Amino acid sequence: MSIQLYAFDTPNGRKISVALEEMGLPYAVHVVDITKGEQHDPAFVKISPGHRIPAIVDPEGPAGGPISVFESGAILIYLGEKTGQFWPRDPVARVQVLEWLMFQMGGFGPMPGQVHHFAALADETDRRYGLQRYMAETRRLYAVMNERLGAHEFFAGGLSIADFAIVGWAWRHERHRVDLAEYPHVQRWYRTMMARPGVARGFAVPLRRPG
Ligand SMILES: N[C@@H](CCC(=O)N[C@@H](CS)C(=O)NCC(=O)O)C(=O)O
């Protein structure tokens, strides 16, 4: 049996479909519709105790039997370990991947995610302060990424799981109200990423039920 991916059509879900496609790993998708509360189904919570997508079950884990993994950063590292791809062996190179992966997990995800939340509020008073704060922080993170990508082709030198993590969120730049033209190095990197057949397949795989 192949890897079972539990996900929905969101940045954190897309990180993993992109990584699986780029790594050439066979997988089956189980849509967990978070708009319908399916992240709280007891069977899903057994593999994802935080009630969040994504999660995977690998029937051929490191000990020979099945293993489940939740938290997208942990899943990316797990897949990198499993395949030896996009996850360098060299300890110095690996530190750079970890740095940019954690940058995404701790900042470039939580912050634009708050922009998505506040932008959807109907009440102008509730919306104003949240948008001001989280858009400023999101833009600061884009400036950091722009500086990095001005000197490096990819975040950690060579293409890595850190790029898959970050592209999942950059994919939603319009929703968090960022014009990539203001960050030309990010725009160059984003276009390079989206032109990759594996990345395109990762964004195209259906993560919603039809209808
Ligand atoms: N730190 C987690 C965050 C996962 C996360 O926030 N997932 C969202 C979708 S992108 C979710 O499942 N939301 C369901 C909810 O808010 O109830 C990860 O990176 O895996």
pLDDT for 190: 98
Q: Strand 55-58's sheet: what is its strand order?
A: 27-31, 3-7, 55-58, 67-70
Which positions ≥6 away from 118 have C-beta within 8 Å? 126, 127, 130, 131, 134
Q: Is the CB of 178 inside a 6 Å radius of any atom of ligand 1?
A: no
Please tell me the distance between residue 12's alpha carbon and the centre of ligand 1 in angstroms.
7
Please tell me the distance between residue 23's alpha carbon and the centre of ligand 1 in angstroms.
23
Average pLDDT over residues 20-45: 98
pLDDT for 171: 98
Please tell me the distance between residue 106's alpha carbon and the centre of ligand 1 in angstroms.
13
Taking the C-alpha atoms of residue 34 and residue 22, their distance in angstroms, rounded to an integer, is 25
Burial class (CB in 10 A: 0-12, 13-18, 19+), 61: middle
pLDDT for 49: 98
Residue 58, beta-bridge partner list? 67
pLDDT for 106: 98
From the alpha carbon of 75, which atom of ligand 1 is closest? 20
Mean pLDDT of the chain: 97
In this structure, which residue's CA is closest to atom 5 in ligand 1?
52
pLDDT for 157: 86
Strands (E), the chain: 3-7, 27-31, 55-58, 67-70
Please tell me the distance between residue 87's alpha carbon and the centre of ligand 1 in angstroms.
23
Q: Is the CB of 10 inside a 6 Å radius of any atom of ligand 1?
A: yes
Counting residues of the chain whose pLDDT is more than 70, the rounded percentage is: 100
211 has a pLDDT exceeding 90 = no
Average pLDDT over residues 177-192: 98
Please tell me the distance between residue 178's alpha carbon and the centre of ligand 1 in angstroms.
21
Taking the C-alpha atoms of residue 161 and residue 94, their distance in angstroms, rounded to an integer, is 10
CB atoms within 10 A of CB 31: 19
41 has a pLDDT exceeding 90 = yes
63-122 pLDDT, tens digit each: 999 999 999 999 999 999 999 999 999 999 999 999 999 999 999 999 999 999 999 999
Which positions ≥6 away from 199 have C-beta within 8 Å? 18, 21, 22, 164, 167, 193
Taking the C-alpha atoms of residue 168 and residue 62, their distance in angstroms, rounded to an integer, is 27
pLDDT for 24: 98
pTM above 0.75, yes or no: yes
Q: Is the CB of 48 inside a 6 Å radius of any atom of ligand 1?
A: no
